[in-house]
Amino acid sequence: MKHSHKIKIALSDLPKKDWWGSGIVAYEDNDMMVDGAKPKQAILESEYHKLVDMIKSAGLETTIVPFSNVLEKEEKFDFIFMRDHFLCNSDKKIVMCNMRLEERLNEGNFVVETMEKSGYIISYLPHQDCLAEGGEFFYLPKENILLAGLCRNNLKGAESMAELMGVDQLHIIESSGYHLDTAICPIFNNEYDCIGINCAKEVFNNKNYDVLSHLSKVYNWELLDIENQDSKKSLVARSAMNCLTLPALLIGTSPINNNKVLDFANQNDIQMHVSSVSQFNLSGGSVHCLTNELF
């Protein structure tokens, strides 16, 4: 599985001490976190290195951001979820995010030095009341479209992000998923055209599902519903759907066991690979959360 597109994948390094070694402190608005859980460090380290190796095996470069000693002392262990800190467009411009949760304020500051050394131009949202978290967005580089959720974003944050990213269109997709990447997952063909959208239908009400359905028709995206009304099955399926999604490639923590998705992937030569991040899942994040595209 080799990529011709010039994409790097940013990841955080692991902290020096055990990740959430004293137990995860769940955030109230994150239904995927397991409060009090203690990740098994040996498994976590193995999973991390296997994910990095899989990304490299796809012919992609990686940029590893050091885990700050300051964040370790402050026990801001969810810095590991590199997706949340910034968005990058295809002109090598990075826009830093503003977190909604007080527990995660200022984490992104510890990304900036690495990105500047790598040659990226850094921009910032104009006001602190512009709320925008990276997991709430999908950037479609070929169409120059930005999809945004409104759970941890606010409208001002989404609109400011779209302006600074220089996109042609911003589309708001509301759901009850705490981040947009727990509700949908775009699928790209080998040319980086978006051709499909995986959708956890249970986190949409009828009105918001109709918005997503309309957008899919306008842009000729195949809307692939993965619906699980059972809450436990929903969490597993949404974690699996939270993939690193790249041209003709999906990397997820577990298989997506949905016939419509599997048939669509086979018909369009989309490779689907599994790299378990089960210990990171305990804090509500999956493969998409741990990774971030650099163009």
Concatenated DSSP letters of 93-148: EEEE-B-SSGGGTTTTHHHHHHHHHTTPEEEE-SSTT--B-GGGEEEETTTTEEEE
pLDDT tens digits in sequence order for the chain, 295 residues long: 565 578 999 999 999 999 999 999 999 889 899 999 999 999 999 999 999 999 999 999 999 999 999 999 999 999 999 999 999 999 999 999 999 998 999 999 999 999 999 999 999 999 999 999 999 999 999 999 999 999 999 999 999 999 999 999 999 999 999 999 999 999 999 999 999 999 999 999 999 999 999 999 999 999 999 999 999 999 999 999 999 999 999 999 999 999 999 999 999 999 999 999 999 999 999 999 999 999 9
Q: Phi and psi for 124 in degrees, rounded to 5?
A: -130, 150
Q: How far apart are CA 238 and CA 226, in angstroms?
A: 9
CB 191 within 8 A of CB 142: yes
- Candidates 125, 145, 148; CA nearest to 137 is 148
* Adjacent-strand bridge partners of 180: none
* Adjacent-strand bridge partners of 251: 244, 273
Q: Let me know how many helices (H) and strands (E) the chain has, helices first.
A: 9, 15
Q: How far apart are CA 292 and CA 290, in angstroms?
A: 7
Give pTM, 2 decimals. Answer: 0.97
What is the layout of strands, in order, in the sheet containing 169-172? 137-140, 145-148, 169-172
DSSP H helical segments within the chain, as ranges?
41-57, 69-74, 109-117, 155-165, 206-219, 231-241, 259-267, 278-281, 287-290
Ordered domains of the chain (ranges, CATH): 8-294 (3.75.10.10)
* Adjacent-strand bridge partners of 185: 198
